[in-house]
Amino acid sequence: MCGIVGYVGCKEAQPILVNCLKRLEYRGYDSCGLAFLGDGLQVYKDVVRIGELEKILPPNGGRVGIGHTRWATHGRPSKVNAHPHVDCRGEIAVVHNGIISNFLALRERLVSEGHHFFSETDTEVLPHLIEKYYRGNLEEAVRRALQDVEGSYAVAVIHRNSGELIAARHESPLLIGLGDGEKFLASDAPALVDYSDRVVYLEDGDLVVMHGEGLKISNQGREVVRKEHHLEWTAKNVGKAGYEHFMLKEIHEQPGVIEEMVGESVSTIEPSVNLEVFIDRTVDGILLLACGTSYYAAMVGQQVLEEIARLPVRVELASEFSYSRTVVGRTLAIAISQSGETADTNRALKKARDLGCRTMAITNVRDSTVTRIAEQSFYTKAGPEIGVAATKSFTAQLIAFYLIALSLAEVDAGTFRHMTQELRLLPSKVQRVLDSEKVIAGHGRRLSGYESVFYVGRGISYPMALEGALKIKEIAYIHAEGYAAGELKHGPFALLREKFPVVALTLRDDTYEAMLSNIKEIKARESPVLALAEEGDQEIAKYVDYVLPLPQTDRLFAPVVISVALQLLAYFAARSRGCPIDTPRNLAKSVTVE
């Protein structure tokens, strides 16, 4: 989940690398560092954010350099654990994203051979291995060192006696930006938007040599050519556009994202849905694999697919499926991942493929790792999402499930027409939620004064309760749990009291009366209740302390409207508590380690 950047060219590397790292800070921010080739090898690192490190960097004219912003896996955040790491002689510098699973054995062997270690990290074995094998050819030394390594990695390496940069990847993202007389390296595309729109995505096993004269990519010792792609993202759409935080900007972009996705697939002439992906209805069932927020989107997707497409659907946590689950019959496995680089999800999809499943990915990033595993991919087209907490990427995943289900619909013509109409109305309904931002902000400020909160729902609002709880805990640092409302009485009631609020997601569907009963039970324990309810619901106000009215929406499509309100609720709770909203502690955007 760390951010990696590199530069080789005719310009000063330092300002370029600093700017690139700022673009990648969502991938990790507990420490950072840079290394340059100029007057020897120069390394600067500390337990600070990029902007703070920039203030203390001396002028540096080096034209070759690497940089890193860290999300800790091995060793607490500290200056000595920050990247880059160097060898005993201070000649080789390495930055790394991933986990070297056999680092302890490698470290013990290297120590027995006379190498001295300073950090607690797994990464530090790499410069020592490269030093061990270096005989004047850096490319060959890196190749040989990586043969000893088990685990995942994206690495960038420089040597004081060489003007080249060596990079390699295995199960961790890395791409190259192409410029005029210069080359860029990054672990994610937003780092490059100020410098290049021509990129090459590296594949597992690729080893790259970047120097002033050009670029060479090899895999298993053979030189290969990777396709050049046009980078659609720009500096404009990875900026804040005047908003205080990326998260708030991305929340407000959701009507446009929904409108674009629906407009490209749903005909306005006659009710029909046409997608670039093809799903064979003769499969015995669908298996959805995801983690975190994407898992909650899959839980909604399960209900949508089963009700509209009449296909049996199973949802699995990708991190668990990899170790203990199997499949029966002819199954379509669909992996859901915003970045397409979620290590647990990619590993689970590989397992499903090896078990004989047909495979598909729902992702926001073209040419990401998951798209190379899957036979076909559905792109959500949410655009770059910089805030660590998923917002527009989550609603885009929900829209993907609606579109897939409607493309397979087993409903009558009138129902189908109603559903496509509801889908087209979603952008305006989401905008109405955004227009009530000041009201939601008041509720968010109220929640900010508590240390714990329950989110409850039934039916299709239950996964939204889980998502709402996740949002407020990850950005506002409020302990929150999501529950099926009927489950509170099976234990969680023990926690209810005057200072333990409950957010109740209440739809006017077949769960409504049961939800009212649950709310009465909660109020009998004196917990304050905030209900998210449909406009015009006069009954709910009799039983709760606060009501947040939402536009009336068909039950199946209500999660989209609910999600936007929950995002704003968490945002304003976090803002009131003074939390670093875009970069919450201990978290990173792309979970590229297991």
The residues annotated as belonging to the active site are 2, 589
Where residue 145 falls (left for φ over 0; alpha for ψ -120 to 50; beta otherwise) is: alpha
| DSSP state, residue 308 | I
DSSP of 163-191: S-EEEEEESS--EEEE-SS-EEEESSGGG
- The encoded tokens of residue 281 equal 């209805």
Opening angle at CA 86, ends 31 and 107, nearest 5: 100
What values do phi and psi take at 577, rounded to 5?
-85, 0
Opening angle at CA 384, ends 152 and 274, nearest 5: 100
Q: In the structure, how many helices (H) and strands (E) does the chain have?
A: 17, 25
167 and 208 Cβ atoms separated by less than 8 Å: yes
Sign of the CA dihedral running 48, 49, 55, 59: positive
User: What are the b/e assignments for 2-35, b being 16+ CB within 10 Å?
Assistant: bbbbbbbbeebbbebbbbbbbbbbbbbbbbbbbb
Spatial separation of the C-alpha atoms in residues 439 and 432, rounded to whole Å = 12
Q: Which residue has the tokens 């898992």?
A: 295
Q: Which residue has the tokens 């598909």?
A: 360
Spatial separation of the C-alpha atoms in residues 431 and 158, rounded to whole Å = 50
Helix (H) or strand (E) holding 397: helix 392-407
Helix (H) or strand (E) holding 318: helix 318-324
